[in-house]
């Protein structure tokens, strides 16, 4: 089964979280199904749907809440990366507050249907952003979107059947890919030599919690580091980021959550520097190695009966070996 000619990804964003949502993410997969050929000008459409909190922020996260409130006032926002064939759209949803997406479970009919209709309206901004020279059939794409909106499921049973169908198609697509293709990485985002250094797909996996950037902390560190064009001092960068999260780079000995977050953050920063710069600051490497040692000792001490302990220890060894092998 061929990969769709256009990949559409939809994620949620709140003041303190971002990522996939079972209902919203399914919309992207639904809209990209049965797509006709539209030209090579746009190969990816990435959509982030923002939701405001209706209540006060969590303790220590007031500054993040305030910055997000300022940010959503600038929406909608678009970015067309023509060389990459990627169109990015961020907008504030009118469907409700963050409680709509701050939950787990299977796709929900109302959110899927209302979200799809809202997203279809937002996509009409393509008419003013895409030019004839961009080699993308905007009118045909929007006509396709309209046809899919007309066929939205009308019951929970229909939604479940749709999700199962799209899941099956996705599995067949993945089975035809090698391990590198499954990552879905745009290598232009990283240093051209980084893949040769981090030569195992594990180091690039964005969903494996044991990978440097597969857990929530690691993903946030990488995203923030990639946005920092001037590549600041690693210690200054991570200290500022942790403080924004209401945490410290030097957590108290009796705070296991801050300890684990700081460990994940140091490991993530070390590998982010390799991916972006193909070098690691000595102080970052040292702290990352200390974090690996601390994580290993903590798991051996507190989780001796954990069924995933052998795999966790194996991946920690893999991380340590790679960090020690990268030249100064």
Residue 176 · residue 1 · CB < 8 Å: yes
Q: Are residues 165 and 41 in the same domain?
A: yes
1 in any annotated domain: no
Answer with the one of 141, 156, 175 that is the final residue of a domain.
175
64 in any annotated domain: yes
247 in any annotated domain: yes
Q: Are residues 67 and 163 in the same domain?
A: yes
Element (H, E) at 165: helix 156-175
2 in any annotated domain: no
165 in any annotated domain: yes
Enter the tokens of residue 260: 């684990």
Q: Are residues 159 and 205 in the same domain?
A: no
Answer with the one of 175, 198, 223 that is the final residue of a domain.
175
16 Cβ neighbours under 8 A, 6+ residues apart: 57, 58, 61, 64, 65
Residue 4 · residue 35 · CB < 8 Å: yes
Q: Are residues 164 and 216 in the same domain?
A: no
pLDDT surpasses 60 at 1: no
pLDDT for position 174: 76
Q: Are residues 85 and 160 in the same domain?
A: yes
- Local structure of residue 94 (DSSP, 8 states): S
Residue 29 · residue 8 · CB < 8 Å: yes
- What pLDDT, in 10s, does the model give residues 38-72? 999 999 999 999 999 988 888 778 888 999 999 99
pLDDT band at 173 (very low <50, low <70, confident <90, very high): confident
Strand order in the sheet with 44-50: 17-19, 7-14, 44-50, 86-92, 77-81
Q: Are residues 76 and 192 in the same domain?
A: no
Instruction: List the one residue out of 17, 15, 22 whose CA is nearest residue 115.
Output: 22
For the whole model, what pTM was predicted?
A: 0.69
277 in any annotated domain: yes
- What pLDDT, in 10s, does the model give residues 225-256? 998 865 778 999 999 999 888 888 888 888 88
Report, as an integer, the average pLDDT of 292-307: 94
Q: Are residues 143 and 253 in the same domain?
A: no
Mean pLDDT score across all residues of the chain: 92
The Cα diameter of the chain in Å comes to 62
Q: Are residues 22 and 127 in the same domain?
A: yes
pLDDT for position 4: 57
d(CA 301, CA 51): 40
- Local structure of residue 126 (DSSP, 8 states): H
Q: Are residues 247 and 233 in the same domain?
A: yes
Number of domains in the chain: 2
108 in any annotated domain: yes
91 in any annotated domain: yes
Q: Which domain holds residue 58?
A: 7-175
pLDDT for position 230: 59
Q: Are residues 244 and 152 in the same domain?
A: no
Q: Are residues 167 and 185 in the same domain?
A: no
Q: Are residues 95 and 161 in the same domain?
A: yes
Residue 291 · residue 267 · CB < 8 Å: yes
What radius of gyration do the chain's Cα atoms show? Answer: 21
- What pLDDT, in 10s, does the model give residues 105-149? 899 999 999 999 999 999 999 999 999 999 999 999 999 999 999
Answer with the one of 137, 160, 175 that is the final residue of a domain.
175
């Amino acid at each position: 089964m061929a990969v769709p000619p256009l990949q559409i990804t939809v994620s949620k964003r709140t003041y303190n979280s971002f990522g996939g949502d079972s209902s919203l993410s399914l919309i992207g997969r639904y809209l990209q199904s049965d797509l006709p050929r539209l030209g090579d000008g746009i190969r990816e459409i990435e959509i982030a749907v923002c939701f405001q909190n209706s209540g006060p922020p969590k303790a220590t996260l007031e500054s993040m809440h305030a910055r997000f409130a300022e940010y959503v006032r600038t929406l909608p926002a678009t970015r067309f990366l023509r060389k990459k064939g990627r169109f990015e759209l961020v907008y504030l949803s009118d469907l409700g507050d963050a409680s709509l997406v701050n939950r787990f479970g299977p796709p929900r009919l109302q959110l899927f249907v209302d979200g799809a209709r809202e997203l279809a309206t937002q996509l009409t901004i393509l008419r003013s952003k895409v030019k004839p020279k961009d080699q993308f059939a905007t009118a045909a794409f929007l006509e396709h979107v309209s046809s899919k909106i007309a066929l939205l499921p009308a019951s929970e049973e229909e939604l479940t059947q749709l999700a199962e169908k799209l899941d099956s198609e996705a599995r067949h697509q993945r089975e035809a890919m090698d391990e590198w293709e499954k990552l879905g990485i745009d290598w232009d985002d990283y240093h051209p030599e980084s893949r040769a250094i981090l030569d195992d797909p594990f180091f690039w996996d964005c969903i494996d919690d044991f990978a440097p950037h597969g857990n929530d902390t690691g993903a946030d560190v990488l995203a923030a580091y990639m946005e920092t064009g001037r590549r600041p001092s690693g210690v200054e960068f991570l200290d500022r980021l942790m403080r924004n999260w209401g945490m410290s780079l030097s957590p108290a000995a009796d705070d296991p959550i801050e300890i684990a977050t700081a460990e994940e953050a140091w490991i993530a920063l070390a590998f982010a520097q390799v991916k972006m710069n193909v070098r690691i600051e000595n102080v970052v490497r040292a702290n990352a190695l200390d974090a690996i040692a601390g994580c290993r000792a903590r798991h051996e001490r507190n989780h001796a009966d954990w069924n995933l302990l052998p795999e966790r220890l194996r991946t920690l060894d893999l991380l340590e070996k790679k960090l020690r092998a990268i030249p100064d």
